Structure 1
Amino acid sequence: MSKHIPFRLAPEIRKRVTITADGDLLSKGTPNKFLDDIKNFEVRPTDVFVITWPRSGTTWTQYIVSQIVHGQEFTDKHNINRINYFIEMQISTVDSPEADDKEGIYKMAENGADPRLLKSHLQMKYLPTQLFTKRPKVIYVARNPKDAAVSYYNFTHLNTMLPNYGDWSEFYEYFHRGLIPYGDWFEHVLSWWGMRHEPNVMFLRYEDMIKDTKQTVLKLSNFLERPLSKTDLDDISRRSEFGEMSKNRKANNDLMNNPIFKKRDNANLKFMRKGIIGDWQNYFTMAQNNHFNTLFSDKMCDTGLTFDFVHAQSSL
């Protein structure tokens, strides 16, 4: 275990995370015993993986992909969490977060019908080894780290599988050190940025998805080799807008009564919260912003990857 972990994690946070042998942090819903099974998970070339650092447009992308792959009639009838396998999470948390069977959703996925839609927030080193030999479709979505962090902070007050940080300043101290579940944003994103030229990998930026959702749907349909008619393209784009998705009981966890999502201390918290570019400005202090800008410049220098940090338009 990495020696820095015990000195930086408060006891109330330690008890709500899984610490891997490498000293990385995972959600409480992913015990260490899952990791070997996930590494050895049997991948199929027909699989479609959506991989993200948390709160980076995961559900939004899943919903678009589900409509492209299965059609709107199917997605209207099925809960998005049931047709997309969150491979590292416990099966028990889907119906009861207190259940103790400790079986992973990856077990459900083993017998899933083709094409399987799979989701993960895991760092690259914990993903199935066959992901890089069977070469299924992989869609990676990255969001600017300031907004992603703010969204994640709010999500921790809603999700019982995650630590409950006292305030934004406490969360920021863990975030910029990479000591939160699913790890360091820079490591997570840059590992997949380095894979962006692989023909089975599509790297998307959340902010681009907001600015032109229809173009994103078209890119995804082409990448998945599932052409859409103009009518379907228009319909999927419209149905994937924030306002439409927020009313959809099959796509919005706020309307599903999922026991994982329990408001701990703020009745206004939502799974689909704001979905805008620039909400970080309501959280970062000037000192935090200056500190993070320096960190961002150091980490992203010469990578060629840039992000938009402000934009007025709303989306998921």
Structure 2
Amino acid sequence: MQSKINLAEQVSDEEKLYRYKGILYPTIMCPEDHLKALDNLEAREDDLMLVAYPKCGFNWMVGVLRKIIAQSTGIKTESKAPPLIEFLGADVIKLMEQSPSPRLLGTHMHPDNIPTTFNTKKTKMLVVFRNPKDTLVSFYHFSNNNPVLPSVKSWESFFSQFMSGEVPWGSYFDHALAWEKRMNDPNVMIVTYEGLKQDLSEGIRQISGFYGFPLTEAQVQQVTEDSSFKAMKESAASSHGTMGSVIFRKGEVGDWKNHFTPDQSREMDEAFNKHLAGTRMGEKLDYQRYCQ
């Protein structure tokens, strides 16, 4: 990661993002040859795939899943690199063919762009979503403090970019609507950041059961205790290196109220109603409760 940060210092803001199949991606972390190399990634039925739109709790859930695997199998997987398949590149993908199961993989990519091999192999996918107002705020701060992304000119400009889908990995609403179509898929489990914050123990029970890693109640409580946002943030330097403080910022529900103007709040309400009102995904996100 440090080498990527060093490289970012030599790259202009304009060069830090590029467009692939109509969607913006960070040039340094997932260049075009990485995305093309995903065509050669062979999924396994027992892979653990974690999917989340950026800043919806991906890194938090990586930590949770690693702890669930360790409790269930005794296998510890410690790595400072996030298991995002779009970060890997051809050489690493080749090496992964020798990796023992279960492999923990992840992505921020739109479901239509995830390699089809994960569908044909019926790989189980855990999908994490967060209310769009807090997602936007977290994305703003992440972009502001992440050297591999373009510096944010202002809160107002980032708000506009997010609302139009002109941010890395594309439109939040496009992602949500695409997963809405797969809510009945038995190999897909959709959870929310807010639901996990409210009752992490229950979330861990459901997630471990979904992946076929049954835990005792004592193990559930141990994972819960070690997986609070506070615990993750405290260990972020060892788990994520120099990016730890950037990745784990506040972890709060409702921080949007400290950023949104009344007009911006109304604009997001209208966008949510236009795209997700009356959908099962909209109901799952419980927008009225968390965003109004």
Aligned length: 275
Structure-2 residue corresponding to 1:266 = none
Structure-2 residue corresponding to 1:120 = 107
Please, what TM-score do these two structures have when normalized by structure 1? Answer: 0.80
Structure 2 residue identity aligned to 1:300:
L
Q: 1:280-295, aligned counterparts within 5 Å?
A: 280-295=256-271
Structure 2 residue identity aligned to 1:24:
I
Which of 222, 228, 251 in structure 1 is aligned with 2:215? 228
2:241 matches 1:258: yes
Question: Deviations along 1:181-222, whole A, 9 cap, x unmatched?
Answer: 000001112212321211111111111001100000000111
Structure-2 residue corresponding to 1:199 = 186
Matches of 2:45 and 2:240, distance apart in 1:
34
Identity of aligned residues (%): 28
Which of 85, 88, 100 in structure 1 is aligned with 2:86? 88
Matches of 1:116 and 1:124, distance apart in 2:
19
CA contact (8 A) 1:35 1:126 kept: no
Structure-2 residue corresponding to 1:35 = 35
Q: Tell me the C-alpha RMSD between the 2 structures.
A: 2.3
Q: CA deviation at 1:13?
A: 4.7
- Larger helix proportion, structure 1 or 2? 2
Q: CA deviation at 1:172?
A: 0.6
Structure 1 residue identity aligned to 2:16:
R
Matches of 2:229 and 2:33, distance apart in 1:
37
Structure 1 residue identity aligned to 2:209:
N
Which of 246, 254, 259 in structure 1 is aligned with 2:233? 246
Structure 1 residue identity aligned to 2:224:
S
Question: Deviations along 1:56-106, whole A, 9 cap, x unmatched?
Answer: 11111111111112338654xx53435x6221115xxxxxxxxxxx75654
Q: Secondary structure at the match of 2:127?
A: strand
Q: Secondary structure at the match of 2:125?
A: strand
Q: Secondary structure at the match of 2:41?
A: coil
Structure-1 residue corresponding to 2:247 = 271
Q: CA deviation at 1:14?
A: 3.5
Closer, same or farther in 2 for the Cα pair 1:212/1:199, shift >3 Å?
same
Closer, same or farther in 2 for the Cα pair 1:190/1:39, shift >3 Å?
farther
Structure-1 residue corresponding to 2:25 = 26
Which 5+ residue runs of structure 1 have no aligned equivalent?
Answer: 1-11, 91-101, 263-268, 312-316
Structure 1 residue identity aligned to 2:50:
V
CA contact (8 A) 1:87 1:109 kept: no
Structure 2 residue identity aligned to 1:48:
L
Closer, same or farther in 2 for the Cα pair 1:256/1:47, shift >3 Å?
closer
Matches of 1:135 and 1:81, distance apart in 2:
28
Closer, same or farther in 2 for the Cα pair 1:106/1:149, shift >3 Å?
farther
